[in-house]
Amino acid sequence: DAVASVELVTRRLLAALAAPIDVGDQEVYVGVSIGVALCPADGTDAESLQSNADAALHRAKAEGRGTVRFSSPELASRARERLGLESELRRAIAGGELRLHYQPQVALATGALVGMEALVRWEHPERGLVPPNEFVPLAEDTGLIVPLGEWVLGEACRQIWAWDATGLTPRQTAVNVSAVQLNDGHLVDTVDGAIRDAGIDPERLELEITESFVMVDRQRSSHAFQDLARMGVQLAIDDFGTGYSSLGYLQRLPVHRLKIDLSFVRDMVTDRGSASIVSAIVALGHGLGLEVVAEGVETEEQVRRLRDEGCDAVQGYLIGRPMPAEAATDFLARFAPSDLDPAR
Ligand code: C2E
Ligand code: MG
Ligand code: MG
């Protein structure tokens, strides 16, 4: 029957691709995952077959390399949901349903406010405020991250301008950018355009790129990093410690800051392993001449430990939650450096 013969073909494909490929004097291994949709069981038109195969492929990838998954009613309904969400998100970007919230960062040595991080939210008409983890991955898969990221950059630059005009400007405001934006090749132009349109000093803008992404496509990311740094934009590596950095490569990147992933900050007080990772990241960052920022700081105890380690700045609920632009402006206006006094 159809399922058995498709099964056989996929096994043969996997076996054929499991062998190493010679590239110059190196052996390269290719990981393969296969998603299958059958006609007519999983659809009778190209679009639904393709989206069901795609959903099966996603599942296969999540289960690990070398896996074959067939479409199922459950996967198919999730695929429909994704399709619905995708068109809703498309409308949201064009229709002004995205918002930026801003979270403050404070220097440990002086208690001064040194930065803000812009974090996107989707103000959904029925679902309320949707966090980025629920739509950024979909946006990355579908390419919608490009217009979404453009909106975020434009909006953040306008906000930097507005703060500058009232004399409240934080040293820099950070925007998260996805590897998909970096690889799409237009990031440098988009950033340049956003800075010019808003008429801000490029040094006021910082871009955060997740560590694991930085290392994926080195050739391309390194060029983009050089161009952005030349423009005067600040660069930070986000979620540091979770990826697989090549330290030699990191050393050559024109980055300014490392952000310690919040999982290590959360566990550093109770877990010695996490504490040593924090300590190693601070030493590494300082050794490379970079500033080190800790994310997800929620307690005074964490602040004390991070200060002992020599960490430069902290960001987290203890200092302030991510907040809408107006509240962030209030926060900036009211902030006093003594707010993070260790003796408090
Ligand atoms: P991230 O850049 O690592 O941001 C830090 C996340 O930790 C934020 O979650 C923030 O709200 C949360 N956080 C801050 N302080 C604390 C704390 O004290 N405790 C805990 N438990 N969490 C804290 P959020 O806003 O949900 O964003 C999640 C992720 O979504 C971000 O991680 C970032 O990778 C991504 N993201 C956010 N905005 C954008 C965007 O505009 N573009 C792209 N491409 N990605 C974005
Ligand atoms: Mg970030
Ligand atoms: Mg992070």
Q: What per-residue confidence (pLDDT) applies to 24?
A: 85
101, 159, 205, 295, best to mutate for ligand 1 pocket (most atoms within 8 Å of CB): 295
Q: Is the CB of 317 under 6 A from ligand 1?
A: yes
Q: What per-residue confidence (pLDDT) applies to 254?
A: 92
**Residue 104: cis peptide before it, omega within 30 degrees of 0:** no
Q: Is the CB of 133 under 6 A from ligand 1?
A: yes
Minimum CA distance residue for ligand 1 atom 15: 316
Q: Is the CB of 238 under 6 A from ligand 1?
A: yes
Tokens 């959904």 locate to 124
Q: Is the CB of 136 under 6 A from ligand 1?
A: yes
176 alpha carbon – ligand 2 mean position (Å): 5
57 alpha carbon – ligand 2 mean position (Å): 29
Q: What per-residue confidence (pLDDT) applies to 221?
A: 77
Query: Could you give the CA distance from residue 86 to residue 44 in angstroms, rounded to a whole number?
Result: 22
141, 176, 205, best to mutate for ligand 1 pocket (most atoms within 8 Å of CB): 176
Query: Could you give the CA distance from residue 201 to residue 173 in angstroms, rounded to a whole number?
Result: 11
Q: What per-residue confidence (pLDDT) applies to 248?
A: 83
Q: What is the distance of C-alpha 133 from the center of its chain?
A: 9
Angle, vertex CA 243, rays to CA 242 and CA 244, nearest 5: 130
Q: What per-residue confidence (pLDDT) applies to 344?
A: 44
Nearest alpha-carbon partner for 173 in 159, 192, 189, 190: 159
Ranges in the chain, pLDDT < 50? 343-344
Query: Could you give the CA distance from residue 25 to residue 122 in angstroms, rounded to a whole number?
Result: 49
281 alpha carbon – ligand 3 mean position (Å): 14
Minimum CA distance residue for ligand 1 atom 23: 296
Minimum CA distance residue for ligand 1 atom 34: 176
Q: Is the CB of 95 under 6 A from ligand 1?
A: no
Q: What per-residue confidence (pLDDT) applies to 182?
A: 81
Minimum CA distance residue for ligand 1 atom 27: 132
Q: What per-residue confidence (pLDDT) applies to 216?
A: 65
Q: Which helix (H) or strand (E) holds 122?
A: strand 113-124
What b/e readout covers 80-111, taking b as 16+ CB neighbours within 10 angstroms?
eebbebbebbeebbeeebbebbbbbbbbbeeb
100, 103, 119, best to mutate for ligand 1 pocket (most atoms within 8 Å of CB): 119
**pTM of this prediction exceeds 0.75:** yes
